[in-house]
Each structure stands twice: as C-alpha cells, then as structure tokens.
Structure 1
Amino acid sequence: MNKPTIYITRKIPPYLIEPFSQYFQFQMWEDEHTPIPREILMREAKEADGLLCLLTEKIDRAFLDHASHLKIIANMAVGYDNIDVEAAKEKGIIVTNTPDVLTETTADLTFALLMATARRLVEANHFIYQDKWGEWSPFLLAGTDIHHKTIGIVGMGRIGEAVARRAKGFQMNLLYHNRTRKKTVEQELDVSYVSFEELLEKSDFVVSLLPLSEQTENIFDKRAFEQMKSSAIFINVSRGGVVDEKALYDALKNKVITAAGLDVFKDEPIPSSHPFTSLSNVVLLPHIGSASITTRENMLTLCLENIRAVFQHEAPISPV
C-alpha cells in the first residue's frame, strides 16, 4: 500500500523527517530561506495528502479547492491567519498549529526586545562600529529604566503570561487587557485587568501579543499612540497587521511616543528602504520570536506528530 504523501513548504533537516519516513513519503520545497511560489505550491499540493506549511503560505479557499486530497494542514506557528479555517472545516480538512512549544522562547525574545529598545542597545552597538565613542558624558546613550515601571500586556495568552512572569522579576507593575478576564492569572501574577484605553494611558511599556483578526486589525492606530505616554515604548511580537504602521511611524518620528521594538510587520520581509529603518528610536527584528534551535525543532516535530496522528486515526495533538 502506498504511503500518504506529505508536502513540506520549506526545506527542513532530514533528521527531523527520518522518524516519520516509515509512515509517509515526503516531498518539499528545497529552499530554506525563500517561500515557495504560489504556482509551484498549487501544483505540488494537488496530489498531496497532508501539508506542513509556514505563515508565508496563503492557504485560502482557492487553494483548498485545488488541493482536493488534503486531510490535514499542519501550520508551523501558533497563529493561523494565513489559513481559511472555515473553508478547511467545510471540506473536512483538519488544521493544526504549534502552541505551547514556543511560549517560553517567544517570551524570552519579547523581553529581550523590550530591554534592547529601552536601553538603546542596538544604537549603542552601532555607535562603536561607527567609531563615535569618544569621551564619557553624563547622558551618553541614556535610555529608559525597566525595573519598577508599568508594563501593559495586550493579549494575555500563554506568551503574555510568560512575559508577565519575566516582568515580575524586574519588579514591574503589571496591567493587561484581554478579550476575556483571567482571574486566576490575576491572582497568580498580581496583574491587573484594565480597559484598553486605561492600559495605553498608564503603561510605560505597551506590549502587543494579540492574534490578528477583524477585531484586532490596526487596533494600534493614531488614536492609540496619542493615548500613550510620550515616554512610552511600544513592543510588537504578535502580528504586524494589528498596527497601523503609518501611524506608528508618525508617532515615532514626531516623538508622540519614545521608541518601539518590532519583530513583526504587515508585509514581510521588509526592505532596507522601509520607512522604519530611517528612525533611530526603533529596533527592528526579522520575525525571530521563536527562533531558537530547540524550539524550531519542537515546532516541526509537533507538526509531524499531528500529521502522524491524523493518518493513524488518532486525535491531533494541537488542533485549531
């Protein structure tokens, strides 16, 4: 009996695939860095029984109509706004994601980005490479304290909770806003639930960990930045689409807020000519929230375990 065919949309190491080769035959896009072109993905997925994809792949209704053999789509991410989940459900295709395995790693990166932005670390690093370091002066590259400040977390999911735990170590005052209150988390972490507007007004650091949806798209707009303190720092490690990037650029350029640290953007990758790159008060990262070797291995393994479970008539581990 022929093994089911699984198509993988980016090159991954053979040692991760090998344990599953007894169950499946694998085909993949043999490029580690460049997303598979749409027309090639459509062609390759036409006969595939399962798909392991990234956020860079748009799995819409047209794709699902075309890839009629699919039983499962394993998305290598927590978010799944790249997939038309309703259309997949209509067609009986299971969609899975990779929660939990990247929580702590992404929280590490979130707090690292917050610290780098507050203390102007990238700017300071460039200062040396540009041979600008001369005599010491009292306010040379002086940044913002983190300890004992107020952090406002917008989106208190698993990653938000992990960021809150890190903030407690810096003796920060914690506020959060979420679609639903989490009273157990409030008690455990001594974090206060407030409205979105109150969070913006009171926070020294506003951290976005929101999923992208119709309700959250462009939620950080001109009005939101104007509600923040002029000393506030904005951090986004969720989805670029939750931010009106023109409004954020204007807020940074005109000192409406002090700085921003961004790991995600509306259209990725961004070019070196992007307006944000002209600003000295923003730290830009290329969407590396979960980018540790161990975590990326765990994410891919979870995708493959979900696929194995479905084809062995078991419940998937992490269904959407």
Structure 2
Amino acid sequence: MARPRLLITRRLTDGVQTRAARDYDVEFNEDDHVFSRDELLERCSAVDAVLPCHSEHFSAEVIGALPAGLKIIANHSVGTDHVDLDAARAKGIVVTNTPDVLSDATAEIAMLCMLGAARRGAEGDRLVREGKWSFWSPAFMVGRQVTGKRFGVLGMGRVGQVAAERARGFGMEIHYHNRRRLDPAEEKGAIFHDTLEGLLAVSDVLSLHCPTTPDTRDLINADRLAQLPDGAILVNTARGALVDEDALIGALTSGKVFAAGLDVFKDEPGGNARLAALDNVFLLPHIGSATFETRDAMGFRALDNLDAYFRGEAPGDRVA
C-alpha cells in the first residue's frame, strides 16, 4: 500500500522530520520560507495531508480551493486561528492541534516577560550592551517587585494554569477570569471573577492566555487598560490580536501601565516599531514554545494525530 503523501510547510526538528520521512511520502520546505497563498495551494494539490504552522493561513477562500484529496490539516500549534474551522468542517477536512505539550514552555516565557517588564530588563540590557552604563545610585533603574502582588490570568486553560502555578512560586495571589469556573482542585486557591472587569480591577500583573476569536480581538483596549490598577504590568504570550496596540502605547506613555512584556504582536514577523521604541516594553519574537523539548513534542503530537487518522481512528486532538 502506498504511503500517505504529506506536506510539511516549515522546517521542523530533525527528529520530527526523520520520523515523518519514515512513515510518509513527505514533501519538505527545504529553505524554510513562508509560502504565498498560491504556493500553498500548489503544494497542497497532490498530497493527502498537510502539517502546517501558524504562518500558513487556511482561510475559507483557501480551504474552498483545496483539492478534494486533502483529508487532514494536522497543525503544529495549539492555536487554530489561522484555520477557518467552519470551512474545514463544511468541506470534510479534519483539523487537529497540539495541546498540552507547550504549556510549560509558554508559561516560562510569560514569567520571563513579567520579570523583564517589572525589572526594566530591556532598558538595562540596552544600557550595558551599548556601553552607556556609567552611573549608579539607589534611585537608579528602580522597577517593580512582583512578590506578593496580584497575578491576573485571562484564560485559565492549560497554559494559564501553568503560568498561575509559576506565579505562585513568586508568592503572588492568583486571580482569573475564564468562560467557566474551574473546580477547586484546578483552582488551587485562585480567586475567580465572573466578569473581565472584576479581574482587571485587581490585576497588578495581567497575563493573557486566551485564543483569538471575533469576540477577543482588541479585547484589551483603552477602556479596559484604564480599569487596571495604576502602574500595572501587561503580559501577552497568547496572540497579538488580543491587544489594541495603539491603546497600549498610550497607557505605557502616560504611565497608567508601568510596563509590558510581549512575545506576540499584531504584525508578525516584525512586531511594532512604536512599541519597540519605548523603554518600558520587554519584547520577544514569538518564541513561547521555542525549546528543543517542546518543538519535538509538538511535532510528534502532530504526527500522532496523522498516524491515528490514517489508521482509521479518531485523532486525539481533533478540533474540526
């Protein structure tokens, strides 16, 4: 029996690509470039499955143009906002993701962003690297201490729960808002707020861990930033579309928000040059899951879903 034909759209780890080549007739992206819409459709024209990343956008229009032979989109990501799930369902294309395996790595980045923002990490790093550190006094580079502060989690899913656990290690009081209240064993003493406004009012640090949907785009806007405590810190390791970046720049410039730690932006790659120009922003280039261990686990999880599908079983991580 012929092996299923698989397109892998980006360069994955050696272990993942070796396993894929063992079990599938694979087409790789040898130079790891971002496919245009037309190239994506062309490369999908002769395969049974595609293993994409969030850099490939399967809009309703793209899915409508996919060949009938493409049976499954096995994402190398937890987020699926780059795939129109309704369009995939309507066309009979199975869609999977890779939950669980990147929670620890992303929560670690949330802590890095929180500390980098609170302790003026970007500003201090720049001073030393540029040879401009020529002064010290007790008033020099004073930041905010997070120990004992209130850590607000917006979206208490897998990553949010791990981030909350890491924040407990700093002696922080955990607050959260979620679509549903967790059971007590999952809450671990965290304080639930049934409205976003209730969470904002008590978040000395607000950490975003929710997906992008039509309802959450620009969720953190000028009105909601104004509801944070004065001198709050915003952390975003989820999706850039959650934040109105113009409003955030205004809050950072006015001092309403003390600092922000951001791993994601509306425009990726590239980011936001106006945010990058501010000293009180700690910036990373969307590397929340970028550890050797996690990238292996994500790739293997995507392949597990493909294996199950082509054995005639239901993939464990099916989302459409």
TM-score, length-scaled by structure 1: 0.95
How many pairs were matched up?
Answer: 317
The answer as to 2:308 corresponding to 1:309 is yes
Provide the residue aligned with 2:215 in structure 1. Answer: 215
In structure 1, what residue type is equivalent to 2:114?
Answer: L
Provide the residue aligned with 1:59 in structure 2. Answer: 58
Provide the residue aligned with 2:70 in structure 1. Answer: 70
Unaligned runs of 5+ residues in structure 1 are none
How far apart in 1 are the matches of 2:13 and 2:170? 38
Would the alpha carbon gap of residues 13 and 239 (structure 1) be closer, same or farther in structure 2, given more than 3 Å must change?
closer
How far apart in 2 are the matches of 1:100 and 1:311? 23
Q: Per-residue displacement from partner, 1:184-210 (whole Å, max 9, x unpaired)?
A: 256x52100112112211111011111
- The question of whether the paired residues in 1 share the 8 Å contact of 2:20 and 2:26 is answered with no
Provide the residue aligned with 2:106 in structure 1. Answer: 106
Provide the residue aligned with 2:268 in structure 1. Answer: 268
- The question of whether the paired residues in 2 share the 8 Å contact of 1:164 and 1:189 is answered with no
The answer as to 2:229 corresponding to 1:229 is yes
Provide the residue aligned with 1:279 in structure 2. Answer: 278
The answer as to 2:48 corresponding to 1:49 is yes
Shift in Å, 1:317: 2.3
The answer as to 2:259 corresponding to 1:259 is yes
SS at match of 1:73: strand
How far apart in 1 are the matches of 2:70 and 2:82? 17
How far apart in 1 are the matches of 2:196 and 2:13? 43
- The question of whether the paired residues in 2 share the 8 Å contact of 1:206 and 1:234 is answered with yes
- The question of whether the paired residues in 2 share the 8 Å contact of 1:46 and 1:66 is answered with no
Answer with 145-154 or 115-124: which moved more. Answer: 115-124
Provide the residue aligned with 1:173 in structure 2. Answer: 173
How far apart in 1 are the matches of 2:18 and 2:241? 37
How far apart in 2 are the matches of 1:75 and 1:233? 32
How far apart in 2 are the matches of 1:268 and 1:197? 29
How far apart in 1 are the matches of 2:219 and 2:129? 37
How far apart in 2 are the matches of 1:204 and 1:230? 8
Provide the residue aligned with 2:12 in structure 1. Answer: 12
SS at match of 1:26: strand
SS at match of 2:219: coil
Unaligned runs of 5+ residues in structure 2 are none
Once the two structures are superposed, the pairs formed by residues 113-128 of structure 1 within 5 Å of their partners are 113-128=113-128
Considering only aligned residues, what root-mean-square deviation do their CA atoms show, in Å?
A: 1.5
Provide the residue aligned with 1:141 in structure 2. Answer: 141
Percent of matched pairs sharing the same residue: 38
- The question of whether the paired residues in 2 share the 8 Å contact of 1:48 and 1:70 is answered with yes
- The question of whether the paired residues in 1 share the 8 Å contact of 2:206 and 2:235 is answered with yes
Would the alpha carbon gap of residues 14 and 206 (structure 1) be closer, same or farther in structure 2, given more than 3 Å must change?
closer
TM-score, length-scaled by structure 2: 0.95
Larger relative contact order (CA 8 Å, sep ≥ 6): 2
Shift in Å, 1:45: 0.3
How far apart in 2 are the matches of 1:104 and 1:145? 23
